[in-house]
Each structure stands twice: as structure tokens, then as C-alpha cells.
Amino acid sequence: MVASVLDFGAEAIEGFDNTTAFQLALDYAGEQGGGAVLAPAGRYEFQSIIMIRHNGVVVDRQAHLDQPG
């Protein structure tokens, strides 16, 4: 199972908070029993911590993940 963060509302736009989109994608993958969460190329910003809450979930990232400040 592969879930793209883009399908959950992520956008590689400066100043856009991707926390919720990434967390939704990670949680969805966990609820499916595990899988990969894909973060396509780009720069994604976060205002809060994201957590992998389930076993069997990995992040396949081609992107730069950035927490400002």
C-alpha cells in the first residue's frame, strides 16, 4: 500500500503547514496495516510534530522536510 501525502492535502508551497496532511497520510497507512507514505519532490513545511503511530509504516521521501524556526 502506498499513500501520497498529496492525496491528503500536502502542498510544497513556502509557508504552507503540512502537519495535518502528513499525519493523515501516516495514520491512514497504519490503519491499512502498514505501507509507504510517499512525499514527492518538493519542500514541505511543518508547524508541529508528526508521529508514526503504527508499526509497518515507512516514509518514502524524495522531498525536503522542514520545520521553520
pLDDT at position 31: 94
Contact 49, 35 (CB under 8 A): no
Task: Let me know how many helices (H) and strands (E) the chain has, helices first.
Answer: 1, 5
* Exposure string over 14-42, b if 16+ CB within 10 A, otherwise e: eeeebbebbbbbbbbbbeeeebbbbbeeb
Q: Over 70: is that where the pLDDT of 68 sits?
A: no
Percentage of the chain surpassing pLDDT 70? 94
Q: What is the pLDDT of residues 44-55, one digit of tens each?
A: 999 999 999 989
Give the predicted TM-score (pTM) of the model: 0.88
